[in-house]
Amino acid sequence: MVKRYKILLEYDGSDFFGWQRQIQERTVQQELEDALAALNGDQPVTVIGSGRTDAGVHALGQVAHFDLDTPHPPADICHALNAKTGQDIYIHNCVEIDNEFHARYGARQRHYEYRILLQPSVIQRKYTWQIDNHIEINLLHECALAVAGEHDFSRLSRASAETELKICRIYDSKWIKNENFLNYTIVGNRFLHSMVRMLVGSMIDVARGKATPDDFVALIDHRESHLKVFTAPARGLFLKQVEY
């Protein structure tokens, strides 16, 4: 009997070409599906994630589901997946779930965090965007406040984003400075392709004096702006949590 399973996983996105399966590229979805096929008599199994993280983006709390006909309990499936995937993926748990559950369409809120380090570090080079400390934190706070609410983010997302609807509701948007770390947290109902990285990169340019907060707000409001959108590197972005 085919049953639906939900998994909670984390991954280091450094060596992945994103979440979505690609031809001749290593992806998280492909790695999971290949591992599950080995448990399914080499028959394909489709894994649906809560969102499609870009190449180089990490996850601490990605959620996914798949359908599988197996006599093995969820704990054994979890153990087998961890044994058959690389060391840069770890499945924290696997549970049987109602067949109506959908990891992507059922998600109500997604939490992302972008990590910036204000000094050089070899250890942190894969997990932070390292920039100099010559930025105005108050300007970042001003920009972050403008992101909250419901907006059309078409000017702050890749043109290749798969959906025509570019409106997202942002529940929380804030910068937090802790010693030499500067982290941006954002919570929303949905996110477009590269949207968080474009928000971060553009806000940092404002904080560096390349434009004003009003120029940033103008991008969100679809007014004329002197701010050119800049996309922050993927390595600083983490999908932290998904709520249902």
Contacts by residues 159-165 (CB-CB < 8 Å, ≥ 24 positions apart): 160/193, 161/192, 161/193, 162/193, 163/192
Please provide residue 112's backbone torsions phi and psi, each rounded to the nearest 5 degrees. Answer: -120, 150
d(CA 135, CA 139): 8
Tell me the pairing of strands 167-178 and 109-117: unpaired
Residues sharing a CB contact under 8 Å with residue 13, sequence separation 6 or more, in sequence order: 28, 53, 55, 56, 57, 58, 59, 234, 235
Q: Which helix (H) or strand (E) element contains residue 143? A: helix 137-147
Tell me, yes or no, if 12 is annotated catalytic.
Answer: no
Distance (Å) of CA 36 to CA 29, 43, 166: 11, 9, 34
Any idea which residue has 């109902």 for tokens?
Answer: 189
Helix H, strand E, coil C: the string for 207-224 is HCCCCCHHHHHHHHHCCC
Tally the residues of the chain. 244
Give yes or no for a contact between 205 and 230, defined as CB atoms under 8 angstroms apart.
yes
Distance (Å) of CA 196 to CA 86, 170, 213: 27, 11, 17
Can you read off the two tokens belonging to residue 230?
A: 């800049």
User: Which one from 12, 15, 34, 54 is the annotated catalytic residue?
Assistant: 54
The residues assigned a catalytic role are: 54
